[in-house]
Amino acid sequence: MSQAAALVFILIVASCITAPLYAEHVAGTGPNDEHVTKKIEQDGEQVDVVAPDGKPIGPTWGKEYFMGADNLGRDVMVRILYGGRNSLLVGLSAAVITLVLSILAGLLAGYFRGGVDRMISGLFDVMWSFPVLLFGIALGTALAIGGLNFWFIHLESGSIWIPTIVIGVVYVPYLGRTLRGQVLSLREKEFVEAAVAQGMGSPRIMFSEILPNLASTLLVFSTLIVANNILLETALSYLGAGIRPPEPSWGNLIADGADRIVTAPHLTLAPGLATVLTVLALNLFGDGLRDALNPRAKVRLR
Amino acid sequence: MARFIVRRIVHMLLVLWAISVLVFLIFNVVPGGGTEGQVLRIAGRNANEVTREQVKKDYGFDQPMYVQYYEMMKKTLNGELISYSDQRNVRDEIVKGIPATASLVIGAGIIWLTVGVLFGVLSALYAGKFVDRFLTGLAMIGISMPVFWLGLVALYYLTYKIELFPPGGYVPLKEDPVDWAYHLMLPWMVLSVLFIGFYSRLLRTNVLDVENEDYVRTARAKGLSERQTLSRHTLRNAMIPIITLFGLDFGATFGGGAILTESIFGLQGVGQYTAESIGALDVPPIMGVVLYGAFFIVLLNTIVDILYAYLDPRIRLEA
């Protein structure tokens, strides 16, 4: 089951990566190309892509407009594939940010204990008490308006990296707390004592002695974090605090479709199903991974 | 124990204070969200220099940052916080939204706890059988759906295609209890799905874990029926983490976590107020709402901690 899930996820990623090929050779249109006045042939008849009353064509299941068109005559399937590139990119890069930050925080807090631990744990407590979605929207909206100029990071407003960073930061306490707990107990093990006795420095003990022991936790968490990131991206974009239109993403596509759900339900259903399929595949894969690596571990993200 | 409680409460206040500082910073130091941006939003894009200076002075933006923070917090605590965009009192708006949010969250909470526990126990009892696979599959799908998408699809099929439910809106309980429940039915279900997925999966694992404990074997050996063993020994222990989670999730949804469900179904609760204020980048309501939400989360966190310390003396010594 989990192999099949992994395969499905890889297929989704592959088809999103090859989206330009599909756009050029199959659909024959780009993700933002509008065809309001175009007509296509369906069952031997010429049909408007966008009817005079503004109602877009539904799924044709053919080469062009496989998943139908939106109100501007854009090909929904092409937009889903391109949107998937953004959603997956955000999901994966945000997971990398979460992993790096929580590994650093967890190692520092668990290894040095004392003041460092109190500071990091205190920060986690504060972030933990923010409602995730509220924190994400607050940060996302503030940054989306003005861009980000912090230290060495300079981002234009509307950059895809803003939601990525927001999502990446939001989940740090969830993983960071777990890692800190594990480091605290690993630190008391004999192999750390041996490393200290050999004269290894703290960074080396943390990264080459303790870190490898966290591998299974990290592996299991990372698939689930990517899954949750994709869900959070859709929610943020839906509320206008994520990826900015016209740049497509699964969240944006669902939000676009929401206003027209009565006349053109395919605009909402199709990107939503793409999201559910991807997240489900990741969750199933993560579940299998967890059972294989550590059957008793209990992992949960909100 | 008293010492522990005092310490937890001090900690709770510290966290709330830190959150207020963080929110203030996010919306004041960040470019565009900062003073200039706020002045522009209040005075309007086309305001001339004089008006802008006047706004700056009237709203206290010419004061140093810490004074601005102090003023804002003073107003927040006195309930005098006023929205910049529509001049309405923030506390009144939040209080106005509480009945809808409370109705949504309490109803959904009851549903997700009962159904989640029921599904979890059934899965564990029939582990590996068809019932288990079916319920686990459902739970997986449940946690893989964006909540607002589920809400949209449910609205489309259940209120537009088949006119089974009303298309959103909130009817106060006092006005018409039947209509109240009728309007909340769909939001309750949509909000519960995700949590049912989480709880049933977690409970299934816990029940299977506890089943292997010696005291469960003892209970069976001394002749208790399966039913008695389950209710008195297995479930009682397997439910502990579920109750903790329920406390936290309930606090989080009550504190604004139901933004999406509220907006989709137009419930006019605190969540929808939040979404609107954030959309308008209206700092005072955001401050009020975030602190309100954080208060519930921190409060329930603290209650859970204290309950745990009460049940397990080791925690008291540790903290």
Comparing CA positions, the residue from B186, B182, B149 lying closest to residue B260 is: B149
Output the pLDDT for position A225.
92
In a domain, A26, yes or no: no
More confident residue, B308 or B145: B145
Chain A residues within 8 A of B11 when measuring between CB atoms: 125
Residue in B closest to A133 by C-alpha: B257
Residue A82 has pLDDT above 70, yes or no: yes
Q: What is B96-313's CATH number? A: 1.10.3720.10
Tokens of A86: 């953004």
Give the tens place of pLDDT for each residue, A135-167: 777 777 777 666 666 666 677 666 788 889 888
> Quick check: A131 and B252 CB within 8 A?
yes
Tell whether A83 is covered by a domain.
yes
Q: Do A134 and B149 touch (CB under 8 A)?
A: no
Q: What is the pLDDT of residues B4-60, one digit of tens each?
A: 888 888 988 888 898 888 888 877 766 555 566 666 666 666 667 777 777 777 777
Collect all residues of chain B within an 8 Å Cβ-Cβ radius of residue A122: 14, 18
Nearest CA in chain A to B271: A134
Predicted model pTM: 0.86
Ramachandran angles phi, psi of A211, nearest 5° = -55, -45
Q: Taking CB atoms and an 8 Å cutoff, what residues of chain A touch B33?
A: 141-142, 145-146
Examine the pLDDT at B114 and tell me if it is beyond 90. yes
Q: Which residue has the higher pLDDT, B141 or A129?
A: B141
Distance from CA of B175 to the nearest CA of A (A): 30
Query: Residue A176 pLDDT > 80, yes or no?
Result: yes
- Beta-bridged to residue A155, according to DSSP, are A148
Question: In angstroms, what CA-CA distances link B152 with A276, B40, B146, B273?
Answer: 14, 35, 10, 19
pLDDT tens-place string over residues A108-130: 999 998 889 999 988 888 887 77
C-alpha span between B239 and B140 (Å, rounded) = 20
What SS3 class is residue A298?
coil
Q: What is the pLDDT of residue A299?
A: 47
- Assess whether pLDDT exceeds 50 at residue A244: yes
Q: Quick count: other Cβ atoms within 10 Å of Cβ A57?
A: 23
The answer to whether B202 and B241 have CB atoms below 8 angstroms apart is yes
Q: Name which residue leads in pLDDT, B31 or A217.
A: A217
Dihedral angle computed from the Cα positions of residues B251, A122, A171 and B259, in that order, rounded to the nearest 10 degrees: 30
Count of domains for chain A: 1
Token digits for A84? 């998937």
Question: What's the mean pLDDT in A199-207?
Answer: 90
Between A56 and B45, the more confident residue is A56
**Both structure tokens of B176:** 């018409």
Strand, coil or helix: B89: strand
Q: Are A164 and A94 in contact (CB under 8 A)?
A: yes
Least confident among A56-70, A243-257, B65-79, B221-235 = A56-70
The reply to whether residue B152 touches residue A132, judged by beta carbons under 8 angstroms, is no
Task: Indicate whether A193 pLDDT > 60.
Answer: yes
The number of C-beta contacts closer than 8 angstroms across A and B is: 153
Least confident of A166-175, A281-290, B28-37, B145-154: B28-37
Query: How many other C-beta atoms are found inside a 10 Å radius of the C-beta of residue B180?
Result: 19
- In eight-state DSSP terms, residue A75 is B
- Taking CB atoms and an 8 Å limit, are B260 and A235 in contact across chains? yes
Per the CB < 8 Å rule, is A265 touching B156? yes
pLDDT at B31: 53
- What is the pLDDT, as a whole number, of residue B36? 63
Averaged pLDDT, A76-92? 91
Contact B257 A132 (CB under 8 A): yes
H or E stretch at A71: none
Q: Answer whether B256 sits within 8 Å of A131, measured CB to CB.
A: yes
The answer as to whether A155 is a domain residue is: yes
- Whether B260 sits inside 8 A of A239 (CB atoms) is yes
Question: Which residues of chain B make contact with A138, given a CB cutoff of 8 A?
Answer: 23, 26-27, 278, 286, 290
How far, in Å, are A74, A140, A259, B244, B316 from residue B302 at the CA level? 51, 29, 41, 11, 13
Q: Determine whether A44 is exposed, middle or buried from the number of CB atoms within 10 Å of its CB (0-12, 13-18, 19+).
A: exposed
Q: Which helix (H) or strand (E) is A148 found in, with range?
A: strand A148-150
- Minimum mean pLDDT range among A12-16, A64-68, B261-265: A64-68
Q: Which domain holds residue A254?
A: 79-263
Q: A110 and A38 in contact (C-beta within 8 Å)?
A: no
CA angle B258, B260, B261 (to 5 degrees): 70
- Between helices A76-112 and A172-186, what is the axis angle to 10°? 30
pLDDT at A302: 39
Residues in chain B within 8 Å Cβ distance of A128: 297, 301
- For chain B, give every residue range classified as CATH 1.10.3720.10: 96-313
Of A134, A235, A283, the CB nearest to B293: A134
Is the model's pLDDT at A19 over the cut of 70? yes
Nearest CA in chain A to B260: A235
The verdict on a CB contact (< 8 Å) between B259 and A133 is: yes
Percent of chain A residues past pLDDT 90, beyond the cut:
27
CB atoms within 10 A of CB A137: 26
Quick one: pLDDT at residue B30?
62
CATH number of domain containing A259: 1.10.3720.10
Task: Report strand pairing: A153-155 vs A45-48.
Answer: unpaired
Tokens in use for A59?
């799924």
Predicted confidence band of residue B73 (pLDDT cuts 50, 70, 90): confident
Inter-chain CB proximity B153 and A269 less than 8 Å? yes
* Nearest beta carbon to residue A235 from set B140, B146, B249: B146
> CA nearest A264 in B: which residue?
B156
Tell me what percent of the residues of chain B surpass a pLDDT of 70. 91
Contact A246, A32 (CB under 8 A): yes
Residue type, B59: Y
Calculate mean pLDDT across residues A221-250. 87
Predicted-complex ipTM score: 0.85
How distant is the alpha carbon of residue B7 from its chain centre?
25
Long-range contacts from B61-65, C-beta under 8 angstroms, 24+ separation: B61/B35, B65/B28
Does residue A38 lie within any of the structural domains? no
- For B283-310, what is the mean pLDDT? 82
Cβ contact, residue pair B144, A143, below 8 Å: no
